[in-house]
Structure 1
């Protein structure tokens, strides 16, 4: 039962919901809170039963959720674009990207930049930093490269890939003006362990990815301070019984978060289910979305590479017109959550946390003991989901 005093003005009350906002280890729908009251975009009360009625005022919007799920809005820490635009297009087009992801329940995201020359990436990060300063919904910037393995380059231009030498690392940190929150690198490259120390000392989360590293090399990177595995299974060797690779190195490091592109294309459901079982509470759902997200099939660009999208699947388009490696995705977070429940076997509360709370923890923005984002006094950014985990309504403040 809520014990909060009802304020004089209450903008909205959502009742008869099942609130997915608690520790999955102890969560039960039988004892979940069922209503939430909001004033000025802030949670002012929540509880069970009929106590929501004392928060209703003459001008209060009253929403009967009809038993649907009410969840914290999503957080995507790996996003390249949407709405026909990539983050490299600059702040003038950021609104188009944000609008698509917001419509699918994402309240905050990290702008992910593909590999480029150090000069080119520095210029892009400098522009991106201004956007991050100006938008509450932008948590920061992610440099996915150029410190990647040519062997596992994916949709990154091979000619710009390089080793993380100190001068290059410092230039990227300088350009990002404190807004760089994540960098993906291959730990087997010369200078990588030193770069991990430099990035982490600057407050940047280091992710292992696009790497030819084996178990031992990846484990050394995690011991050195790397704390994320970029899109698990993609851009790395798989799991072999004599060569467990970076995936099981990440599983064995309890401080590491594993990103998962849960679109049914990048990772097959049984493999995703295995990772969810091996690393409970440490899987962060991401989209890796590119410009075609929210659009249709056709030809697009990711970084400097042409991309063709067919049946919603983005692949690098070769000069002869054929297609090659997967180039990001057209996934949205609501679909990732829905698939996590329907195909991976996560509980609804675990799937929602993998799309909200776990990503914030991965960036160091939330303490481990915090299990609720819709606490009284916190922002009321939330999404109403039906029994199939499909979006019914989104509330996200500016």
Structure 2
């Protein structure tokens, strides 16, 4: 059955005022170019794609026991239509347990939930001296281990500290096997970052956070990103990164894209939750370990859109940072844009950028509990 929606549609060619027809995929888009400021109609944007999701709705991906479905439904109610389930630094047996629990979701999308595209391994191949909120199980990466994980659920992205011995070669191996690599939780230098990019690394994990900062005589990993990166992820909750630093990154990195790095506390009241087996506390809009370290976020992608617009981005630009750019980074051509034959993943927002409806592969999502 085909559905039809009308409003201000953000297409790859810009805004049009018209109608979109779709089933599970987009059948057609008709309309005329428009400046959406000239009317009061709704905005219809591509669904959001989040490449860094640890949890939500009170559960953490590492808990297993069906956590992935809860996370998929929570974020779908906030406009995320596709995501990478993100693991924590942990012993291999715990990572495998989480992946085995997620495996059915790769074959069958959770009803009412976002499409899980695969896995983001955030660690354990990171620097033990830059854990951030990661548990202390960092170790050198082994390609055979990633291959074993990939046999359970497709591994789409691995966060790596490039300065760790053996990781330069690991980056090349992963990229040769169509697994994207990003640099993060690292004490590496500017030179380490540049070398990793030459070997095929394609992005930087939560830019500015858990990496060596920019100094004019030691540019660090942040300097490598700002000077050389085409892609990097950033957390626009306005807590992890100052708006001025976000704008700096926007001027330097052509395809900067946004992630939530969300935890079990997303969509939940203040209180204690789990992140990779550690207790985190949600309070005042953020989540922290007992020692005060930021531990992921409570951000959802619809709020990320509003935050970006609040600091001066156009809706068009903000949408690209949440949809088109992450899709492009993963090499996905049938999501992240409103075009014929793409999956019917779309969000409808009112003039205050509040969600009115969400469709995932043509399914209308119940957002009443968001």
Compare relative contact order (CA 8 Å, sep 6+) and give the higher one, 1 or 2. 2
1:329 paired to 2:297: yes
1:85 paired to 2:59: yes
Separation in 1, partners of 2:172, 2:310:
40
TM-score normalised by L of structure 2: 0.89
- Counterparts of 1:346-365 in structure 2, within 5 Å, are 346-365=313-332
- CA-CA distance at 1:360 after TM superposition: 1.1
1:153 paired to 2:117: no
Separation in 1, partners of 2:20, 2:180:
35
Separation in 2, partners of 1:290, 1:391:
21
Listed as ranges, the gaps of 5+ residues in structure 1 are 1-8, 51-64, 318-322
1:42–1:371 Cα change, 3 Å: closer
Separation in 2, partners of 1:200, 1:330:
31
1:47 paired to 2:30: yes
Separation in 2, partners of 1:189, 1:124:
25
Residue 188 of structure 2 corresponds to 213
Please say if residues 123 and 175 of structure 1, whose CA atoms lie closer than 8 Å, have aligned partners that are also in contact.
no
RMSD: 2.1
- CA-CA distance at 1:138 after TM superposition: 0.5
**Larger Rg over CA atoms:** 1
Residue 177 of structure 2 corresponds to 202
Separation in 1, partners of 2:32, 2:160:
50
Query: How far does the alpha carbon of each residue in 1:299-347 deviate from its partner, in whole angstroms, 9 at most, with x for none?
Result: 1110021111112210012xxxxx321111000001111111111x222
Query: How far does the alpha carbon of each residue in 1:172-211 deviate from its partner, in whole angstroms, 9 at most, with x for none?
Result: 3212316000111100101010111121122111110000
Separation in 2, partners of 1:224, 1:127:
33
Residue 162 of structure 1 corresponds to 139
Separation in 2, partners of 1:334, 1:197:
35
Query: How far does the alpha carbon of each residue in 1:142-164 deviate from its partner, in whole angstroms, 9 at most, with x for none?
Result: 11001111221011112x11122
Separation in 1, partners of 2:335, 2:326:
12
Please say if residues 62 and 95 of structure 2, whose CA atoms lie closer than 8 Å, have aligned partners that are also in contact.
no
- CA-CA distance at 1:103 after TM superposition: 0.9
- CA-CA distance at 1:385 after TM superposition: 1.9
How many residues in Structure 1 have an aligned counterpart in Structure 2? 352
1:122–1:355 Cα change, 3 Å: same
1:11 paired to 2:3: yes
Separation in 2, partners of 1:276, 1:380:
28
Query: How far does the alpha carbon of each residue in 1:255-308 deviate from its partner, in whole angstroms, 9 at most, with x for none?
Result: x4110100010001010011111123x111100001010111101110021111
1:384 paired to 2:362: no
Listed as ranges, the gaps of 5+ residues in structure 2 are 34-38, 364-370
1:22 paired to 2:12: yes
